[in-house]
Amino acid sequence: MSNEDAQREETGAVFARLAEIVYGPEDYAQMCAALCVAAPMLVPGCDRASLVVRRGSSMRTVAAGDDTARRIDAAERELGEGPCIDVLHHDTTELDTDLAVRTRWPALTKWILESTPVRGAAGFRLTVEGADAAALNIFSDTPGALTEQSLDAGAVLAAFASVALSARAHRDQAVSLRAGLESNREIGKAIGLLMAIHEVPEEQAFTLLREASQRMNLRLSEVAKQVVETLKRTSDASES
């Protein structure tokens, strides 16, 4: 097997494992962390990576390959400049192969060169449902190691990350919707039973349920579930 074939096979294996994580039991944070861990395996010249999500005016690092990547993200937010900020605000792909030679972000570059081993950076815009924007950030410790090939590989990983994050958002929405529907059914059952037993209208039955929720310091759906179970046990006992 040639080196090129071996590399292609390894890349395919990494993406296959990422796909398992996206649709597996891992939570959102674990999935984002896996994408950052995979970046150095898939993007030539990459030593570390991070994922940043923007909602409104708030930007948050949801995962980072290491503390250096996380600190650079924090410095970008504090200084108000950098590849990640440009990507999030202008929908572009950013690449600076050698921060020591030329820089569009003087304050951030000065901080990076003085505080970290990073010497090159790239940023890719992600499209994610439930967020205004997101970015995949790539960092290299070697000047000139990030190339056009790195951009191509980074774009592929960014596209995969967009699909992965959107798929997880859909799955989480489906789980929340299902839970909400089940809660509503329990509340409806409880109200119906209270109306029948106490011979009160629906509004008064709901008030009884809400007051019980407040006294017990529980969610209304939990109280409803307890009411249904209690009344069912009472009914079963009376029939036996």
Same domain, 99 and 137: yes
Same domain, 183 and 169: no
Instruction: Tell me the C-alpha to C-alpha distance, in Å, between residue 5 and each of 2, 12, 85.
Output: 5, 10, 37
Q: What crossing angle do the helices spanning 202-216 and 148-198 adopt, rounded to 10°?
A: 120
* CATH assignment at residue 211: 1.10.10.10
SS3 129: coil
Same domain, 128 and 147: yes
**Alpha carbon of residue 95 to chain centroid:** 24
pLDDT along the chain (240 residues), means of 10: 61 64 68 88 93 87 95 95 88 88 89 96 82 87 94 86 72 48 61 72 75 64 65 58
| pLDDT value for 103 | 79
| pLDDT value for 206 | 74
Same domain, 33 and 86: yes
Classify the C-alpha dihedral 41-45-47-53 as positive or negative. negative
Same domain, 230 and 133: no
| pLDDT value for 173 | 47
| pLDDT value for 46 | 95
Same domain, 113 and 188: no
| pLDDT value for 207 | 75
Same domain, 201 and 97: no
Same domain, 16 and 82: yes
Do 68 and 54 meet the contact criterion of CB atoms below 8 Å apart? no
Print the domain residue range for 153. Answer: 3-173
Amino acid 163 reads V
Distance CA 239, CA 20 (A): 51
Same domain, 85 and 153: yes
Q: Which residue, of 124, 145, 173, is where some domain finishes?
A: 173
Same domain, 85 and 53: yes
* 96 Cβ neighbours under 8 A, 6+ residues apart: 83, 102, 103, 104, 120, 121, 122
Strand residue runs (E) in the chain: 48-55, 58-64, 94-96, 120-126, 133-140
* CATH assignment at residue 141: 3.30.450.40
| pLDDT value for 183 | 56
Amino acid 149 reads Q
Same domain, 181 and 197: yes
